[in-house]
Amino acid sequence: MVDRTTEPSAGKPFPVSWDQFHRDCRALTWRLAEIGPFHAVVAITRGGLVPAAIVARELGLRTIDTVCIASYDHTKQGDLQVLKGVSEDVAKLGGGTGKGLLIVDDLVDTGKTGRLVRALMPDAHFATVYAKPLGRPLVDTYITEVSQDTWIHFPWDTALSYQPPLRGGR
């Protein structure tokens, strides 16, 4: 779950293609392979579903679970609500504290969601593809840091369309 602090029209746009996202997820996996092994992957929904699937495939992990947290609509963040926690079977794999579990998300922004997930699984390894400065200290492994005022346009949130040049003209 991305805890976004700005509206999509605000800040610097950072469009990410499917190809780029896949490459970044594989790069994340290379780093994680040196740290593991892990018992299971826990995706933070919804943003963590795609990177968790790629990471799990690359690491050969078959046990994948989700933590489902709602915190915002497409533009505004509200109070966090845990819709679904980690299953009892996966929690047991992590000894109740998350040890040996790998939490995956697409982005850590302010860290609000990250702090909640850390409280649920304090000993898990937390990995994101992208990190912003406010949330970065919560993450153990990430690939790319972007500025706090950057708005990442993930491939599942976008459609192909004309983009005007940054500086006038056609």
Q: Choosing from 89, 109, 123, 140, which is the catalytic residue?
A: 109
- What pLDDT band is residue 5 in, cutting at 50, 70 and 90? very low
Q: Choosing from 106, 123, 140, 157, which is the catalytic residue?
A: 106
**Surface-to-core class of residue 149, CB atoms within 10 Å of its CB (0-12 exposed, 13-18 middle, 19+ buried):** exposed
105 is a catalytic site residue = yes
pTM of the model: 0.85
Please tell me the predicted confidence (pLDDT) of residue 2. Answer: 46
The dihedral of CA 146, 48, 154, 109: what is its sign?
A: negative
User: What does DSSP say about strands 141-145 and 125-131: parallel, antiparallel, or unpaired?
Assistant: parallel
Domain spans of the chain, in order of start: 12-155
Read off the pLDDT of residues 131-147 as tens digits, 9 standing for 90 and up. 999 999 999 999 999 99
For 12-155, CATH gives: 3.40.50.2020
Q: Choosing from 3, 24, 65, 105, which is the catalytic residue?
A: 105
Give the C-alpha separation, 27 to 29, whole Å: 5
Instruction: Check whether 6 has a pLDDT greater than 50.
Output: no
Residue by residue, DSSP assigns 70-103 as EEESSS-EEEEEEEE---HHHHHHTTTTTTTEEE
